[in-house]
């Protein structure tokens, strides 16, 4: 296992306010970053904004402001949303920053000097919404963008191109040697069969029809086109080609670092095909993994800013708390598959998992420890009850399965393992019947063991939930009487001995579907 961890979100396009679909991807990355940090890995977590292009230029013009002023206002909203969701990114890269523009220009020049970029002329169909060129076959007789289903325009202009053909064989070899590079595997098959085998055209990497971009040093009427500009954010943020390359050496060049890109399905082609080619051209290593998360849908339609069918995370967090929103995004939508947001699912998931199962387990246990042992958690004395061994075994298996799942980016699976432990602990209460044991003085030791085992199950579950339930887990620790502890204590069976518990408010009050479903429906725009 590598000792460092570098994880990135895609950089988001600031054409409008972010919605819960963006919150989904960033929250999942945050969960992975938090989990790795807690387990002792040196971790670097990057997100950012992709601020150049024709669409930004047009939107700014329509609003009567400069492109820079336009993106500045929207990016401020990015910062507020990440603060709201308790996102712990180490850096936020903006493609309009001087540190990034320097890297883009340097990379372009190096590729040009190497002969991997050449000047030519582009003729084809252009979608200004997706900022992508398409062939006659791809747009069909109706001239519709295959990605966003909007009408495209015929475009012809002088442009620089990247020689993709030079690196195709090398890329296919890389795919074969690194079967976990692109996940899910269906995405790799799509890249090969849909884009590479039919014949990969050279990639347009500059434009002259707009000016809002990074100027090409060798030909100032050109600006670097979106993907060579945008994709290099992953190395520009680390200081590649700067006076201080310490972060770059540590989190990119060092083979002891695991590099993970999390991305949406709509940008897979650029990350999985062109980004490895750019890196090879520059003589740099490729990422270890690119994980394509699914789309967050609204019933039967993709959620998008342009369609207006989005959910604003702010009122959700204000009403239900950041933990409920983070938990729903992590648990309800299987990481790697398409998922949907619905008010009914949201309320049901919070009630079933957080209020009825986890919150109720904590509340019942703290109450019983208060009633039977004056609030002090009894010492661990081994396996006293006939049911202690099975719960201890479940705890050990859960920790192991959780770590393996997180390391394999299976976040949803990891959380389900924790849920199963919580459910097992609730069943353990029914099996051991503490209320009956309390009536028999001869069963005092058995009752004490039951309380200790319940407290430990809650501690372990809370520790494993912590990357998701960033405030509720801390409240659970407080109720257990813990003033400090870390993941390194997760296997310590004596950690809770004699701690004085503190009765608190329920972590997750049960939601009334008759009230909350209509409220959330009211938040959902057309």
Residue-wise pLDDT tens digits, 217-249: 999 999 999 899 999 999 999 999 999 999 999
Same domain, residue pair 258 and 360: no
In a domain, 434, yes or no: yes
Boundaries of domain holding 258:
4-293
Same domain, residue pair 236 and 358: no
Three-class SS of 362-414:
HHHHHHHHHHHHCCECCCCCCCCCCCHHHHHHHHHHHHHHHHHHHHCCCHHHH
Q: Which of 126-130, 317-321, 354-358 has the lowest mean pLDDT?
A: 126-130
For residue 309, is pLDDT > 70? no
Total domains, the chain: 2
Residue-wise pLDDT tens digits, 106-160: 999 999 999 999 999 988 888 877 777 787 888 898 899 987 889 998 888 899 9
In this prediction, residue 15 carries a pLDDT of 76
Same domain, residue pair 266 and 403: no
Which of the pair, 153 or 300, is modelled with greater confidence? 153
Same domain, residue pair 262 and 355: no
414 in Cβ contact with 406 (< 8 Å)? yes
Which of the pair, 339 or 317, is modelled with greater confidence? 317
Mean pLDDT (whole number) for 417-435: 98
Mean pLDDT (whole number) for 156-184: 95
In this prediction, residue 523 carries a pLDDT of 83
Same domain, residue pair 28 and 101: yes
| CB-CB neighbours of 93 under 10 Å | 22
Same domain, residue pair 286 and 346: no
In this prediction, residue 525 carries a pLDDT of 56
301 falls in which pLDDT band (50, 70, 90)?
low
Task: Quote the DSSP letter at residue 20.
Answer: H
Going by C-alpha positions, the residue among 263, 215, 261, 216 that lies closest to residue 237 is 261
Same domain, residue pair 371 and 465: yes
For residue 445, is pLDDT > 70? yes
Mean pLDDT (whole number) for 288-317: 74
H and E: helices and strands count for the chain: 22, 15
∠ CA 385-390-391, nearest 5°, is 85
Tokens of 377: 């958690």
Same domain, residue pair 235 and 95: yes
In this prediction, residue 526 carries a pLDDT of 44
Whether the CA torsion 309, 314, 315, 320 is positive or negative: it is positive
Same domain, residue pair 156 and 287: yes
Same domain, residue pair 364 and 285: no
Mean pLDDT (whole number) for 40-68: 95
Give the chain's mean pLDDT: 93
CA 3 to each of CA 41, 181, 189, 251: distance values in angstroms, whole numbers, following the listed order: 6, 19, 31, 10
Same domain, residue pair 395 and 463: yes
Q: Give the rounded percent of residues in the chain with a pLDDT score beyond 90.
A: 81
Q: Which of 139-143, 293-297, 360-364 has the lowest mean pLDDT?
A: 293-297
The enclosing domain of 22 has a CATH number of 3.40.50.620
Going by C-alpha positions, the residue among 418, 329, 411, 467 that lies closest to residue 41 is 467
Going by C-alpha positions, the residue among 340, 372, 342, 349 that lies closest to residue 449 is 372
For residue 376, is pLDDT > 80? yes
Residue ending a domain, among 232, 259, 293, is: 293
Mean pLDDT (whole number) for 430-450: 97
Mean pLDDT (whole number) for 366-375: 98
Return all residues near 115 (Cβ < 8 A) that are at least 6 apart. 163
How much is the pTM? Answer: 0.92
Give the residue carrying structure tokens 């979106």. Answer: 226
Same domain, residue pair 85 and 188: yes
For residue 356, is pLDDT > 50? yes
381 in Cβ contact with 444 (< 8 Å)? no
Residue-wise pLDDT tens digits, 148-163: 889 998 888 899 999 9
| CB-CB neighbours of 46 under 10 Å | 22
Return all residues near 196 (Cβ < 8 A) that are at least 6 apart. 168, 171, 172, 273
In a domain, 202, yes or no: yes
273 in Cβ contact with 200 (< 8 Å)? yes
In this prediction, residue 299 carries a pLDDT of 57
The residues facing 376 across adjacent strands are 500
């Amino acid at each position: 296992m590598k000792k460092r961890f570098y994880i990135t979100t895609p950089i988001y396009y600031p054409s409008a306010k972010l919605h819960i679909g963006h919150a989904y991807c960033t929250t999942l990355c945050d969960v992975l970053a938090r989990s790795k940090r807690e387990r002792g890995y040196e971790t670097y977590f990057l997100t950012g904004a992709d601020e150049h292009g024709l669409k930004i230029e047009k939107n700014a013009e329509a609003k009567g402001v400069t492109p820079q002023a336009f993106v500045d206002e929207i990016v401020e909203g990015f910062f507020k949303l990440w603060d709201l969701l308790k996102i712990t990114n180490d850096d936020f890269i903006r493609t309009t920053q001087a540190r990034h523009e320097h890297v883009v220009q340097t990379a372009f020049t190096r590729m040009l000097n190497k002969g991997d970029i050449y000047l030519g002329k582009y003729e084809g169909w252009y979608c200004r919404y997706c900022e992508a060129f398409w062939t006659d076959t791809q747009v069909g007789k109706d001239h519709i963008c295959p990605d966003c289903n909007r009408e495209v325009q015929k475009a012809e202009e002088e442009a620089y191109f990247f020689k993709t053909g030079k690196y195709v064989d090398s890329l296919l070899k890389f795919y074969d040697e690194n079967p976990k590079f692109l996940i899910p595997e269906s995405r790799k098959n799509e890249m090969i069969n849909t884009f590479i085998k039919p014949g990969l055209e050279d990639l347009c990497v500059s434009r002259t029809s707009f000016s809002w971009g990074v100027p090409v040093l060798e030909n100032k009427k050109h600006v670097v086109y979106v993907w060579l500009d945008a994709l290099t954010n992953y190395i520009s943020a680390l200081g590649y080609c700067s006076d201080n390359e310490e972060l770059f050496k540590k989190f990119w060049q060092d083979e002891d670092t695991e590099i993970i890109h999390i991305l949406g399905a709509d940008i897979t082609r650029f990350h999985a095909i062109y980004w490895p080619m750019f890196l090879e051209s520059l003589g740099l290593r490729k990422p270890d993994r690119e994980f394509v998360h699914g789309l967050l849908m609204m019933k039967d339609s993709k959620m998008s800013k342009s369609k207006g069918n989005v959910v604003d995370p702010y009122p959700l967090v204000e009403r239900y708390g950041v933990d409920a929103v983070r938990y729903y995004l992590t648990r309800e939508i299987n990481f790697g598959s398409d998922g949907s947001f619905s008010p009914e699912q949201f309320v049901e998931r919070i009630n079933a998992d957080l209020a009825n199962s986890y919150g109720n387990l904590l509340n019942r246990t703290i109450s019983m420890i208060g009633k039977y042992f004056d609030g002090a958690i009894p010492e661990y004395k081994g396996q006293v009850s006939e049911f202690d061994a099975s719960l201890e075994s479940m705890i050990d298996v859960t920790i192991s399965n959780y770590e393996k799942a997180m390391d394999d980016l299976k976040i949803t699976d990891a959380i389900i393992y924790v849920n199963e432990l919580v459910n097992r602990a609730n069943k353990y209460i029914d099996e051991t019947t503490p209320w009956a044991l309390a009536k028999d003085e001869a069963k005092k030791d058995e009752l004490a063991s039951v309380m200790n085992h319940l407290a430990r199950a809650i501690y372990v579950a809370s520790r494993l939930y912590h990357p998701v339930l960033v405030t509720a887990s801390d409240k659970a620790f407080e109720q257990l009487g813990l003033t400090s502890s870390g993941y390194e204590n997760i296997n310590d069976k004596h950690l809770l001995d004699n701690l004085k518990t503190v009765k608190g408010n329920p972590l997750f009050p049960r939601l009334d579907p008759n009230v909350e479903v209509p409220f959330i429906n009211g938040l959902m725009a057309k």
